[in-house]
Amino acid sequence: MTETFYEVMRRQGISRRSFLKFCSLTAAALGLGPEFAGKIAHAMENKPRIPILWLHGLECTCCSESFIRSAHPLAKDVILSMVSLDYDDTIMAASGHQAEAIVEEIVEKYKGNYIVAVEGNPPLNEDGMYCIIGGKPFVEQLRYATEHCKAIISWGSCASYGCVQAARPNPTQATPVHKVITDKPIIKVPGCPPIAEVMTAVVTYMLTFERMPELDRQGRPKMFYSQRIHDKCYRRPHFDAGQFVESWDDEGARKGYCLYKMGCKGPTTYNACSTIRWNEGTSFPIQAGHGCIGCSEDGFWDKGSWYARLTDINQFGIESNADAMGGGVAAVVGGAVAAHAAVSAVKRAANKGEE
Amino acid sequence: MTSKAARVHAEPAVYVYEVPVRLWHWVNALAITVLAVTGYFIGSPLPSMPGEAIDNFLMGYIRFAHFAAGYVVAIGFLFRIYWAFMGNEHARQIILPPLFSVEWWKGVMHEVRWYLFLTKEPKKYIGHNPLAQLVMYVVFFWGIVFMIVTGFALYGEGTGMGSWQYEMFSAWVIPLFGQSQDVHTWHHLIMWYIIVFVIIHVYVAVREDIMSRQSIISSMISGWRTFKDTRRIEGDEF
For A294-313, write each residue's pLDDT tens digit: 999 998 998 878 888 888 77
Contact assignment for B192 to A227 by CB distance below 8 Å:
no
A140 lies within 8 A of chain B by CB: no
Nearest residue on chain A to B56, judged by CA atoms?
A241
For residue B166, tell me if it sits in a domain: yes
Peptide bond into A169 cis (omega under 30): yes
Q: Is residue B6 part of a domain?
A: no
pLDDT for B217 equals 85
DSSP summary character for residue A262: G
**Residues A264, A191 share a domain:** no
Identify the band that residue A323 occupies on the pLDDT scale cut at 50, 70 and 90: confident
pLDDT interval class at A259 (50, 70, 90): very high
pLDDT at A47 over 70: yes
* CATH at A148: 3.40.50.700
Domain hosting A10: range is 5-225
pLDDT at B6 over 60: no
Closest CB from A217, A222, A321 relative to B175 = A217
Please report the residues numbered 244 through 263 in chain A whose beta carbons come closer than 8 angstroms to any beta carbon of chain B.
Answer: 244, 246, 252, 257, 260-261
Select from A149, A216, A146, A229 the least CA-distant residue to A188.
Answer: A216
List, as ranges, residues 21-40 from B with C-beta within 8 Å of A. 40
| pLDDT value for B129 | 83
As a whole number, mean pLDDT of residues A29-55 equals 81
Same domain, residue pair A193 and A281: no
Averaged pLDDT for residues A281-293: 93
Q: Give yes or no: residues A147 and A42 share one domain.
A: yes
Whether A195 and A216 map to the same domain: the answer is yes
* Pairing of β A87-88 and β A52-56: parallel
Q: State chain A's mean pLDDT as an integer.
A: 85
C-alpha torsion sign, points A241, A242, A243, A245? positive
Residue A262 to residue A246: CA distance in whole angstroms: 7
**Contact present, B162 and A205 (Cβ < 8 Å):** no
Chain B residue numbers with beta carbons less than 8 Å from the beta carbon of A216 are 161, 171
Residues 82-141 of B with CB under 8 A from A: 115, 117, 120
Q: How far is A237 from chain B (nearest CA, A)?
A: 6
Q: Give B160's contacts in chain A (Cβ within 8 Å).
A: 226-227, 231
**What pLDDT is recorded for position B164?**
93
User: Are the Cβ atoms of A267 and B185 closer than 8 angstroms?
Assistant: no
Grade residue A156 by pLDDT with cuts at 50, 70 and 90.
Answer: very high
Is it the case that residue A124 has pLDDT exceeding 80?
yes
> pLDDT category, B161, cuts 50, 70, 90?
confident
Examine residue A10 and state whether it is found in any structural domain, yes or no.
yes
Residue B8 has pLDDT above 60, yes or no: no
Co-location of A241 and A218 in the same domain: no
Yes or no, beta carbons of A227 and B181 under 8 Å apart: no
Residue A309 to chain B, least CA–CA distance (Å): 7
Q: Is B57 on the interface with A (CB under 8 A)?
A: yes
A322 contacts B43? CB cut-off 8 A: yes
CATH number at residue B19: 1.20.950.20
- The alpha carbon of residue A157 is apart from the nearest alpha carbon of chain B, in Å, by 13
Q: Is residue A127 situated within a structural domain?
A: yes
Q: Are A2 and A109 in contact (CB under 8 A)?
A: no
Per-residue pLDDT averaged across A123-128, rounded?
Answer: 92
- When pLDDT is averaged across residues B147-159 and rounded to a whole number, the result is 95
Q: Give per-residue pLDDT as tens, A174-233.
A: 999 999 999 999 999 999 999 988 888 888 788 777 788 889 888 999 889 989 999 999
**Contact residues for B75 (Cβ-Cβ < 8 A; gap 6+):** none
Instruction: Decide which of A210, A225, A240 is a domain's last residue.
Output: A225
| Banded pLDDT at A319 (limits 50, 70, 90) | low
| Domain tally, chain A | 2
Residues A86 and A25 in one domain: yes
A242 vs B58: CB contact, 8 Å cut-off? yes
Decide which of A225, A253, A282 is a domain's last residue. Answer: A225
Average pLDDT over every residue of B206-220: 83
Structural domain count, chain B: 1
The confidence score (pLDDT) of residue A284 equals 94
Query: What radius of gyration do chain B's Cα atoms show?
Result: 21
Mean pLDDT of A5-30: 81
Percentage of chain A beyond pLDDT 90 is 41
Q: How far apart are CA A299 and CA A346, in angstroms?
A: 53
Please report the pLDDT score of residue A204 as a whole number: 77
With beta carbons under 8 A apart, name residues in chain B contacting A268. Answer: 179-181, 184
Taking CA atoms, A174 is separated from A53, A125, A160, A209, in Å, by 21, 8, 11, 33
Residue A215 in domain: yes
Closest residue in B to A238 (Cα) is B53
Q: Decide if B57 and A241 are in contact by the 8 Å CB cutoff.
A: yes
Residue B21 lies in a domain: yes
Task: Give the residue on B whose Cα is nearest the Cα of A347.
Answer: B117
Q: Tell me the count of A-B CB pairs closer than 8 A.
A: 134
Q: Which of residues 267-286 of A touch B (CB under 8 A)?
A: 267-270
In chain A, what residues touch B58 (CB-CB under 8 Å)? 241-242
Residues A150 and A294 in one domain: no
Q: What is the pLDDT of residue A289?
A: 93
The Cα-based distances of A243 to A30, A177, A229, A308 in angstroms read: 34, 41, 18, 17
Are A9 and A132 found together in one domain? yes
Domain membership flag for residue B18:
yes
Distance from CA of B149 to the nearest CA of A (A): 17
Which candidate from B45, B195, B203 shows the least CB-CB separation from A244?
Answer: B45
CB contact under 8 A, A323 and B44: yes
Query: Which ranges of chain A does DSSP label H, i.e. alpha helix?
Result: 5-11, 16-29, 35-46, 62-67, 73-85, 96-109, 138-146, 156-160, 196-209, 222-225, 236-241, 251-255, 273-276, 322-354
Residues in B touching A297 (Cβ below 8 Å): 179-181
Q: Computed from CA positions of residues A183, A185, A190, A192, in that sequence, does the dihedral angle turn out positive or negative?
A: negative
Q: Which value does ipTM take for this structure? A: 0.85
Optimal mutation site among B4, B40, B48, interface A, most CBs of chain A within 10 A: B48
Does residue A198 sit in the same domain as residue A245? no
More confident residue, B232 or B221: B221
When CB atoms are compared, the residue of B117, B172, B199 closest to A334 is B199
- Where is pLDDT greater, at A239 or B4? A239
DSSP-based three-state secondary structure for A215: strand
Contacts of B118 in chain A (CB under 8 A): none
**Is pLDDT above 70 for A85?**
no
**Axis crossing angle, helix A322-354 with helix B180-211, rounded to the nearest 10:** 10
What pLDDT score was predicted for residue A6?
Answer: 82
**Whether residues A80 and A52 fall in one domain:** yes
Whether residue B58 and residue A269 make contact (CB cut-off 8 A), yes or no, is no
Range of the domain at B99: 14-45+57-226
Look at residue A335 and tell me if it is in a domain. Answer: no
The whole-number average pLDDT for the span A68-92 is 64
